[in-house]
Structure 1
Amino acid sequence: MSASIEAKGSCLCGAVTMQAQSMDTEVGACHCSTCRKWTGGPVFAVDCTSDVSISGEENITIFDSSEWAERGFCSKCGTHLFYR
């Protein structure tokens, strides 16, 4: 069983802030063509439980990148925020 931590972050302009209360410490990586196009390289991500709070949701734009995934970014500064 892995440990969990609390994390806070924001987009570059501060319009969107996020906080994860119970975030897994294991990091996953994806290097599929979609993730490489999205980030310019491989994606390194952590799995957050449902304990994620977001402030500034009105500043988030969602892009349906495939039939099963969507990506969120700040509509003001363009910062990549999440993949789900």
Structure 2
Amino acid sequence: MSTYDPDSGVTYGQWLRDKGIQVKGDRTVPRRRETRDEAGRMVREVTELTDSGAVATTRNRSSRQGEHQDVHVRIPTVHGAVGVLRP
């Protein structure tokens, strides 16, 4: 079995991909999950990072009343912000 050589000029992730091993190194691409709820209905969740740095989670589900979409946005907080008002 060959071992990874950092002096080869290839990243570790690329070395693994060349061997056929799938790796994901970041969260820049939206992540999609399809699961089932308690009643056995399909629920789809998509989590993505927006341009402003917020994390948006979109949840699509269905019920007897029809299709539903819930969107939750988690915004990073800013601590220690001070503003000066000038006339």
- Asked if TM exceeds 0.5, the reply is no
Rg: which structure is higher? Answer: 2
Range into which the TM-score falls when normalised by the shorter chain: under 0.3
Could you tell me the TM-score, scaled by structure 1's length? 0.25
Q: Whose strand proportion is higher, 1 or 2? A: 1
TM-score, with structure 2 as normaliser: 0.24
